[in-house]
Amino acid sequence: MSAQEFKRRRRRLMGMMDEHSVAILPTAPVYIRNRDVEHPYRPDSDFFYLTGFAEPEAVAVLIPGREHGEYILFCRENDPKMETWNGLRAGQEGAISVYHVDDCFPIGDIDDILPGLLENKARVFYTMGAHPGFDQRLIGWVNRLRKQSRAGIHTPGEFVSLDHLMHDMRLYKSSFEIRAMRKAAKISAEAHRRAMQHCKPGMMEYQLEAELLHTFMYHGARSPAYASIVGSGANGCILHYVENSAKMKTGDLVLIDAGAEIDCYAADISRTFPVNGHFSRAQKALYELVLAAQYAAIEQVQPGNHWNDPHEAAVGVLTEGLIELGLLKGSLKTLLKKQAYRRFYMHRTGHWLGMDVHDVGDYKIDTQWRVLEPGMTLTVEPGLYIPAASKGVAKKWWNIGIRIEDDVLVTREGHEILSADVVKTVDEIEALMAGVKSTRRVKAKTKPVTRRRRLTQ
């Protein structure tokens, strides 16, 4: 981790604030799993983005122009006894030397010190509602200042939403962030390949999940970025199926949606493949339709295009294909207008990706879809889901759930598929599952990317 990178980010944020303002960012609390067992700790994304500090019980305060230092951190004190039980802490000295904090205080002193930092400031940049317990404490400190108004102390008059500034910064990934995302995607791609290679009829879905987790952990990703989905047969038609508890049957497809988290950056990859290693005719027809929609959507990931262009490309291809297969009836134009595809494709084609799997950043500016720019990272994930007993749908299509999802970075020239290391054509998947060694590096086929439009900015 580069301390300089975090410093650059803090400087950029403070550049958007003014001298009479202060920004306050608490990190995430520790969440209890049951009784005295805690969930594995994950810092708040905005807090970590600015600090690189991963301990709980910490609050960062940024005060542009403050004489004694602009970056203040409240964190846990060193405590040899507690550290013997629960692990080492940076302490105040460590925070200053390792994390380049200007001024550091014990978290236990925050009630005494923080109100003084707010004194006579005009504006507080803060994200309300993310950590409700902390909202209450902040309101308490402000009220304390209000009571001192007769002593000539000014209370900040304005609360400004910090998330708006932070989330626009986070939307544009730096080269440091792109490196972390490439790594998360590479590990996740290897995990998906491993799952394909280990899959056999009769195995449990959680046994495939175990193969994914093995690869994540082995490469140092201590947690998935979100709960892994391993859904076979009918379960593939449940969008956020996470039980992963069924036995996988020959003749069924299995849909895996899983990604590792590296240094707080997520990968988010989906692949769908036959449990027995061979696509049936019906499965292949639908799979190749989803894949064609995905290629068409990825091709739209170009600087200068709009956020919705990939989605529009995907639904165009899907609707046309569903008509050809007899799953939708009517004219392409009318069906698109009616969004008839939503019966089988009920989610959108992607989302921003970054520190959070559904990452931050606006999708529209006022009423217009956002223009894609280099450094933005998104998923492209069309799918089709046809549950059993779908009215008017031939039986051969039942229980087919397919999603193909890649992670795509917008570049100056077009795009880079971060998750390209996991195969996705029918032939490639069947060959990998049959154990056929490829002479070339196993890599998803991607259509050549042409630069279709000039950069607009």
Q: Measured between alpha carbons, how far is 275 from 202 in angstroms, rounded to an integer?
A: 9
Can you tell me which residue has the tokens 């599952």? 433
| Of the residues 55, 190, 211, 257, which one makes contact with ligand GLY according to CB under 6 A | 257
Smaller CB separation from ligand GLY, 213 or 357: 357
Tell me how far, at minimum, the Cβ of 405 lies from Mn ion, in Å. Answer: 5
Smaller CB separation from ligand GLY, 64 or 382: 382
Name the active-site residue from 8, 11, 33, 240: 240
| Of the residues 379, 397, 407, 419, which one makes contact with Mn ion according to CB under 5 A | 379
Q: Measured between alpha carbons, how far is 75 from 110 in angstroms, rounded to an integer?
A: 9
Tell me how far, at minimum, the Cβ of 229 lies from ligand GLY, in Å. Answer: 7
Tell me how far, at minimum, the Cβ of 30 lies from ligand GLY, in Å. Answer: 25
Smaller CB separation from Mn ion, 190 or 257: 257
In this structure, are residues 303 and 412 in contact, taking their beta carbons and an 8 Å threshold? yes
Per CB under 6 A, which of residues 389..418 are in contact with ligand GLY? 405
In degrees rounded to 5, what are phi and psi of residue 391?
A: -60, 130
Could you please report the per-residue DSSP string of 36-55? Answer: TEEPPP---HHHHHHH----
Smaller CB separation from ligand GLY, 45 or 51: 45
CA neighbor of 210 nearest in space, from 225, 199, 201: 199
Smaller CB separation from ligand GLY, 268 or 430: 268
Q: Does residue 358 have an active-site annotation?
A: yes
Q: How many residues sit in the footprint of Mn ion (CB under 5 A)?
A: 4
Name the active-site residue from 190, 263, 268, 309: 268
CB neighbour burial string for 239-272, b if at least 16 within 10 angstroms, e if fewer: eebbebebebeeebbbbbbbbbbbbbbbbbbbbb
In degrees rounded to 5, what are phi and psi of residue 276?
A: -95, 5
- The answer to the question of residue 268 lying near ligand GLY (CB under 6 A) is yes
- The answer to the question of residue 406 lying near Mn ion (CB under 5 A) is no
Q: Does residue 219 have an active-site annotation?
A: no
- The answer to the question of residue 381 lying near ligand GLY (CB under 6 A) is yes
CA 307 to chain CA centroid, Å, is: 17
Name the token pair of 148: 């001192």
Q: Does residue 257 have an active-site annotation?
A: yes
DSSP, res 144: H
Q: Does residue 109 have an active-site annotation?
A: no
Per CB under 6 A, which of residues 217..236 are in contact with ligand GLY? 226
Q: Does residue 268 have an active-site annotation?
A: yes
User: Max Cα separation, the chain?
Assistant: 81
Which residues of the shown chain bind ligand GLY in the complex (CB under 6 A)?
226, 257, 268, 351, 357, 381, 405
Active site residues: 36, 240, 257, 268, 347, 351, 358, 381, 385, 403, 405
